């Protein structure tokens, strides 16, 4: 996926979950944070960030002219961008699935749809593979602990419900998968965050009930994010 009107700035502060202050060309600007996660390991004062300008902000009724898109990762020595846009993983996954080069058992998925309801769940993606209908849930990952990607960075009852919904779908004859989109690259592996054991338990339960667990990293630049290659999953 691609962004328009991006520029680099310096992160200053985050007064609440939704807003951040950044220094752009010597001027302090207010940015919308497109991620309600904690991001404590990323958003440190003085770190370089990528922000997106919205020229039509006033006409569109936006409260801010800028959005915070990416952060230079302190874990990776500031040499790589970590995309923190919580909407980006779904779009990147849709593009990846539509390109047909990510699923070795299904080179040409068809009938790809977004935001599909089934039972008591609403899944990010649905598609058909050789005549079998599938559901896929997409989770964006920004937490990097010593080179290991982890999810979640905060408790997520909604995420646990999604995993149980995928397990139920498998019992009904559907294919099911959860795709962890690492919004960065060069992580050695992916694991559920042990700080939130309930999610890890639900993820292992899903795997034991034939839900596919995938993790792929991304190539991230100042103006784009594209799913790149698979990363080992350690449960």
Position 190 in a domain: yes
At residue 139, does pLDDT exceed 90?
Answer: yes
Task: List, for residues 91-135, the tens digit of each pLDDT value.
Answer: 999 999 999 877 877 878 999 999 999 988 999 999 999 899 999
Number of domains in the chain: 2
At residue 24, does pLDDT exceed 80?
Answer: yes
76 & 156 share domain: no
Closest CA to 208 of 171, 181, 157: 171
| Final residue of a structural domain among 83, 103, 124 | 83
Task: List, for residues 48-97, the tens digit of each pLDDT value.
Answer: 999 999 998 888 888 899 999 999 987 666 679 999 999 999 999 999 99
117 & 202 share domain: yes
| Average pLDDT rounded to a whole number, residues 214-231 | 96
CATH number, domain containing residue 56: 2.40.50.580
Position 235 in a domain: no
The model carries a pTM of 0.94
Phi and psi at residue 57, to the nearest 5°: -55, -50
168 & 147 share domain: yes
66 & 99 share domain: no
* pLDDT at 61 (0 to 100): 82
Beta-bridge partners for 30? 21
Distance (Å, rounded) from C-alpha 61 to C-alpha 58? 5
Distance (Å, rounded) from C-alpha 220 to C-alpha 198? 30
How would residue 1 be classed by pLDDT, with cut points 50, 70 and 90? Answer: very high
How would residue 184 be classed by pLDDT, with cut points 50, 70 and 90? Answer: very high
Position 29 in a domain: yes
CATH number, domain containing residue 102: 3.40.1350.60
79 & 92 share domain: no
Domain that holds residue 59: 6-83
Position 205 in a domain: yes
* pLDDT at 77 (0 to 100): 65
Closest CA to 32 of 53, 48, 47, 46: 53
Closest CA to 168 of 210, 213, 112: 210
Position 208 in a domain: yes
Outline where the chain has alpha helix (H). Answer: 57-60, 88-99, 157-171, 197-208
99 & 167 share domain: yes
Position 32 in a domain: yes
Distance (Å, rounded) from C-alpha 173 to C-alpha 14? 46
104 & 191 share domain: yes
């Amino acid at each position: 996926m691609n962004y328009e009107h991006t520029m680099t700035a310096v992160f200053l502060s985050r007064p609440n979950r939704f807003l951040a202050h950044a220094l752009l060309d010597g001027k302090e600007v207010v940015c919308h944070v497109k991620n309600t996660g904690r991001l404590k390991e990323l958003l440190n004062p003085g770190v370089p960030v990528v922000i997106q300008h919205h020229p039509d902000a006033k006409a569109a009724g936006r409260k801010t002219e800028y959005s915070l898109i990416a952060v230079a990762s302190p874990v990776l020595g500031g040499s790589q961008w970590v995309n923190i846009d919580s909407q980006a993983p779904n779009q990147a996954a849709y593009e990846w699935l539509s390109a047909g080069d990510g699923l070795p058992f299904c080179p040409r998925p068809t009938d790809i749809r977004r935001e599909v309801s089934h039972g008591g769940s609403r899944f990010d993606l649905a598609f058909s593979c050789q005549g079998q209908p599938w559901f896929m849930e997409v989770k964006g990952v920004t937490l990097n602990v010593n080179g290991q990607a982890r999810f979640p960075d905060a408790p997520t009852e909604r995420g646990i419900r999604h995993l149980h919904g995928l397990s139920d779908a498998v019992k009904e004859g559907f294919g099911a998968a959860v795709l962890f989109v690492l919004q960065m690259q060069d992580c050695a592996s992916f694991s559920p965050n042990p700080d939130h054991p309930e999610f890890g338990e639900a993820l292992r339960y899903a795997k034991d009930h034939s839900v596919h667990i995938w993790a792929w990293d991304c190539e991230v630049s100042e103006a784009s994010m594209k799913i790149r290659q698979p990363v080992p999953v350690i449960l």
